[in-house]
Each structure stands twice: as structure tokens, then as C-alpha cells.
Amino acid sequence: MPQTMTLDEKLAISNKAIALIKAGEEEAGRRLLRTSPMPPYLAKIFKEKVGVQPLLSAGYNLSEAEAEFGPNWLDTENK
């Protein structure tokens, strides 16, 4: 699976997000978590069930899914 972010980078994002949530900044923490790439298998399931547009609108990082499935994968016409 192609990775666009190292595991250390993903862990740093998670740690910062947890700290924000614990500090009462729940929305900021959740927003930060969405910057970490969603695993391609999970993005594929979401796309099949609800389409890619809700993921894009919510700000999820789909870079690893795009790297694995190709740039046309984000085309909202292809479900």
C-alpha cells in the first residue's frame, strides 16, 4: 500500500488530536484526525456505500486511496 505519510507523522497527529480532545477542543481534535490519511480499504468501503463527495466535504485525507486506486478514483461520478 502506498503511504503518503509516515507512521511517525500519523502518530504525532493522533497524539495532538487526543490532547486537543482532552483539553475540551473536541471539534479541533476531530478535524485534525481527518488530516491523517484514511486507509484505502476504508475509503473504498465508504465510497461504495455513500460516495466520495461526503468524504471530501468532511475534509478527510484520501491521499493514500488516491495513490493506490489512481487519481480518477476521486471522480465523484465513479461510485
Instruction: Examine the pLDDT at 79 and tell me if it is beyond 60.
Output: no
pTM: 0.81
Backbone angles phi, psi at 37, to 5 degrees: -60, 135
Closest CA relative to residue 32, chosen from 8, 55, 61: 61
Average pLDDT over residues 47-74: 91
pLDDT of residue 71: 82
Q: How confident is the model at residue 77 (pLDDT cuts 50, 70, 90)?
A: low
CA atoms within 13 A on the CB side of 28: 10
Average pLDDT, the chain: 90
